[in-house]
Chains A and B, each alone.
Chain A
């Protein structure tokens, strides 16, 4: 970030690093506290009993009660929904990566006239959030006989993730040097061979970014499953959390335990790919 030359030039009044370090730490600390407090409340609440929560809504667990977590973990509902969410998210991610890469490759590297129109078509897709399309989308999926199927969730999610994917991947694929392609052709590779042997490995960073974006979007998706899934056996976690919360609305502690358990996969996934997610989001925005 800073070279040796610039650090030696720094003096007491350093405009780049700024001063007032203590204030910075205090504000940062308060900020982190505010951001985490609700999550901490949920996790700790799961370790309390309902009577503790009623007597002192913001108190700490006293004594710690693990029954709520155990009852959620030993029941089948949570695991079932976890698996459903995983199936939907992995299916979506796989579809987005495969279809997005193939489509972007054509737009980026095949010389044909319609490719500009194709790019514009996908770019226009950014203007159609799923909220706008959900009513007819429900009818379409129903007419295709795919309500209450995972395919009915996965296919639309792939479709709505494709615009971002294409917009991120096309510049990526275009940046692969032409010389590399020519060298591959000289060695007798076809365009398809070049795609499989060179493009896929070279575009891996971009692919990982779009894959993560698609996974997170699917993991948190609520509106689409809400419209398309009536069968509780197919519920994904967001739907399941809501159903659980209304079913056990008097058993607050158990709801908190369920909610905090369903936060864990997203948080684990996020901490594993934090750099990629943050980089992908900022990269996507900055184009």
Chain B
């Protein structure tokens, strides 16, 4: 700080005697700053800093994220029990087995069902709720907190709570009986026709709060002026929402749908805790991830399990790329590519 002050004092001390002094007068501080910036530190010093600062984080990331993914791709070509180096190279045999295994295809079908029904059930409901809550009402912030509670609870807790409530002699059937809807009693968890719907509804229950919060945040981004202009032009409340608010909510909906899709392809905890590793097959709720754990780790077939992981990854990647290519590009352009620019 001392240098610029000193210069400023000098300049303002007397009337500008020389021509160049007058020219510098408008921004003496700026000129001084430019003049006194120290020379760039020597390259080796800068590289040392870069390595010291970014090295640990990058090392941890590469070791525990990138390396396992590469290892999965490698182990996928072997039949391997997980002990000693993998030696029994089987080429694409694991992949061939996976893609022809009825159990895997069933699991894949369940993931697809979860994906579609989550979008269809959660999307419209979440938007409707967000529109409803996006007005000044008493206790709005409290409501916002409370509908977010399911999202904060761990899937294991949710799974145990629901599996106790949904037993044939559990609370849900009891409530149905009491309100005179005994005809709706179900074997919610074990009936193969019902169980997958049970799973979807639990997922909706757990994640709809997240969707609502996202939509609310998106609605905050819709300027009041736009809606007021529509109102002045005589549009009704619902017309305003339909023609003005919803289209402007597009980016938020697309990002939410993307997260929901990726999440649907990875479902594991809920199924694994509620149905266990074996029952999930007979109840019709197995997912690719539970298939991977049951046929990989638990069967001691690490090569095969790795191959399943690669298949899950490729499916997720393909879905993500297609989605991004066609729907998300406009939205993430700023967020992802702009970040590094």
Nearest chain B CB to A75 CB, angstrom units: 18
Q: Residues 1-27 of chain B: 1 if any A CB is under 8 Å from the residue's CB, otherwise 0?
A: 101100000000000000000000000
Report the tally of A-B residue pairs with Cβ distances under 8 A. 319
CB atoms of A170 and B339 under 8 A apart: yes
Chain B residues with CB under 8 Å of A259's CB are: 157, 160-161
Chain A residues with CB under 8 Å of B332's CB are: 287
Q: Residues 1-25 of chain A: 1 if any B CB is under 8 Å from the residue's CB, otherwise 0?
A: 1100010010001111111010011
Chain A residues with CB under 8 Å of B184's CB are: none
**The one of B60, B65, B240 that contacts A128, using a Cβ cutoff of 8 Å:** B65
| Residue in chain A with minimal CB distance to B217 | A282
Instruction: Point out residues on B near A: beta carbons under 8 Å.
Output: 1, 3-4, 33, 36-38, 41, 46-47, 49-50, 53-54, 56-58, 60-69, 71-72, 75, 82, 129, 131-133, 135-137, 143-150, 152-158, 160-162, 164-165, 167, 169-175, 178, 205, 209-210, 213-214, 217-218, 224, 227-228, 230-231, 235-237, 240, 252, 255-256, 259, 262, 266, 268-269, 273, 289, 292-293, 296-297, 302, 305-306, 309-310, 312-313, 316-317, 320, 332, 334-336, 339-340
Indicate whether A135 sits within 8 Å of B214 (C-beta atoms), given known contacts A252-B164, A256-B164.
no
Q: Residues 30-44 of chain A: 1 if any B CB is under 8 Å from the residue's CB, otherwise 0?
A: 011011101101100
Q: How far is the CA of A262 from the CA of B148 in the complex (A)?
A: 18
Indicate whether A100 sits within 8 Å of B57 (C-beta atoms), given known contacts A15-B231, A38-B205.
yes
Q: Name 4 extra pairs, CB < 8 A, besides A105-B53, A132-B72.
A: A125-B66, A159-B60, A267-B153, A287-B335
- What are 18 A-B contacts with C-beta separation under 8 Å? A1-B136, A18-B237, A24-B137, A35-B147, A41-B161, A57-B167, A57-B173, A103-B53, A131-B268, A162-B61, A163-B61, A167-B336, A192-B53, A222-B156, A241-B157, A270-B149, A281-B210, A285-B214
CB atoms of B292 and A135 under 8 A apart: yes
CB atoms of B178 and A58 under 8 A apart: yes
CB atoms of A28 and B132 under 8 A apart: yes
Q: How far is the CA of A131 from the CA of B68 in the complex (A)?
A: 11
CB atoms of B339 and A216 under 8 A apart: no
Nearest chain A CB to B151 CB, angstrom units: 9
| Residue in chain A with minimal CB distance to B258 | A285
Chain B residues with CB under 8 Å of A38's CB are: 150, 158, 161-162, 165, 205
Q: Residues 243-287 of chain A: 1 if any B CB is under 8 Å from the residue's CB, otherwise 0?
A: 001000000100110010011001100110010011001100111
Q: Residues 92-127 of chain A: 1 if any B CB is under 8 Å from the residue's CB, otherwise 0?
A: 000100011011011100101001101111110101
CB atoms of B178 and A99 under 8 A apart: no
| Main SS at interface, chain A | helix
Q: How far is the CA of A99 from the CA of B137 in the complex (A)?
A: 42
